[in-house]
Amino acid sequence: MNIAIVGMGTVGGAAIRLLEENAAELERKLGFKLHIRATASLEVEERKEVDTPTGRRLLTRDWREAVEHPEADIVVEVVGDTTIAYEVQTTALALGRPVVTANKELLGLRGAELAQLARDNKTSLHLEASAGGCIPILNALREGIAADHIEAIYGILNGTCNYILTQMEAEGSDFEDVLADAQQMGYAEAEPSLDVDGFDAQHKTGILASLAHGFWVKPEKVYTEGIRHVAPLDLEFAGKLGHAVKLLGIVKTSKTGPVQVTMFPALIPNDHVLANVSDVYNGILVRGDVVGDTLYYGQGAGQDATASAVLSDIGDAVLDLAHGTTERMKAFNSHEANGAVRPIDEVTSCYYLRLTVLDRPGVLAKVSTILAKNKIGISSVIQPEGHEGKSVPLIFMLHYARNAAMTRALKAINKLAAVKAKPVMIRVENFE
């Protein structure tokens, strides 16, 4: 089987290396030799044919030359943008060639269209590498627990954010200091907003929701918050309250119809398994109506983790071609025509609330009155000692309430003269 690879960056380079290193093992398992017949990258200085461990290979700057190569059976797209990558994928699919991609952003924007194009051209789209790093979560949703109605998915889906939160908790360091260290170590990009503002995990959460519920969830439908507002003080108080803070993607059904699809930091009880997912690792809990809770854990960041998922998809594409089928594992099976995402205002959560207030009588009473007017109950209050100065922290744990009510309450609380900084609110997930 001949493979064309477009993109020779971090993931593409790792995929090429792993294909060459594990060629014999892959042949043993699949029953076919895998040959990288063409690679395309702007880093290629000149077009040429070279001899490699897996055979003769074309190197070119022209992605079309690789995708349209007459000997190419499978096309791997690891470009990493949404423009050229879209052209690569649509061209390959129109030729009837299976496509393997790790492009979560493109899939989030146009996944349903690409899946339909694959179906129309009697070929297949493979996207395991788009969510969860090396974790085979998409295969699990489509095959492993296919008999279940998926009631909930809870996912720590961004290794960079998880590393930052882990280090902030362990060291008591500020976000910016840990981010700088993560950038120096290669865990975070020079421009980190895609990770720390939640957009990388947003795309992954949307893909998981789409596969679980049968209607395509576009990124703009996924309510998203990042971790910039989380301070060491919040991690300290969360620990005292028996919780850890994680950036958590949530896909949750309800009895009233629309599905919650959200991405935000959340307090998680320390005795829950996801609270112990640390550093660059990902953890995903899937709750089915038959199987109950299942857990998927592994490296969510790094070139080898993603490349491993790419190779797995190549293997699936090989088997599809060998057996003359494209129906064995559809990229996306639309089975819920009337699916809808629950607006964030209607989502119900418990809440952690940290205020910075003047240390004087009556402040607690005023805040409590505002919460009561919005029908938000108080579970506990912490007025920590040892904080000197005119302003002190005031910590609330709040009962279940709609996000709309919490938004109104925060707006009113922020207007109080005694409140000297923007309130910090973090949702609490109890996995109920």
Catalytic residues: 204
- For β-strands 281-288 and 292-299, DSSP reports them as antiparallel
Distance CA 221, CA 257 (A): 16
- For β-strands 99-101 and 125-126, DSSP reports them as parallel
Burial label, 82 (beta-carbon count in 10 A; 0-12, 13-18, 19+): middle
Distance CA 239, CA 365 (A): 26
Partners of 115 in beta bridges? none
Q: Element (H or E) spanning 232, and its range? A: helix 232-240
Q: Which of 321, 167, 306, 332 is nearest to 244 (CA)?
A: 167
Other beta carbons less than 10 A from residue 380's beta carbon: 9
Distance CA 4, CA 57 (A): 9
Do residues 111 and 332 lie in contact, with contact meaning Cβ atoms separated by under 8 Å?
A: yes
| Residue with the two structure tokens 């109920």 | 432
Do residues 247 and 264 lie in contact, with contact meaning Cβ atoms separated by under 8 Å?
A: yes
Do residues 341 and 380 lie in contact, with contact meaning Cβ atoms separated by under 8 Å?
A: no
CA atoms within 13 A on the CB side of 98: 28
| Residue with the two structure tokens 């500020």 | 174
Quick one: angle between helices 84-94 and 104-120, nearest 10? 20
Other beta carbons less than 10 A from residue 346's beta carbon: 13
Q: Which of 128, 85, 139 is nearest to 110 (CA)?
A: 85
Distance CA 380, CA 362 (A): 17
Residue 83 dihedral angles phi and psi, to the nearest 5°: -100, -70
3-state secondary structure of 350: strand
Torsion sign across C-alpha atoms 266, 269, 272, 278: positive
Q: Which residues contact 336 (CB under 8 A, 6 or more apart)?
A: 213, 214, 215
Distance CA 21, CA 96 (A): 29
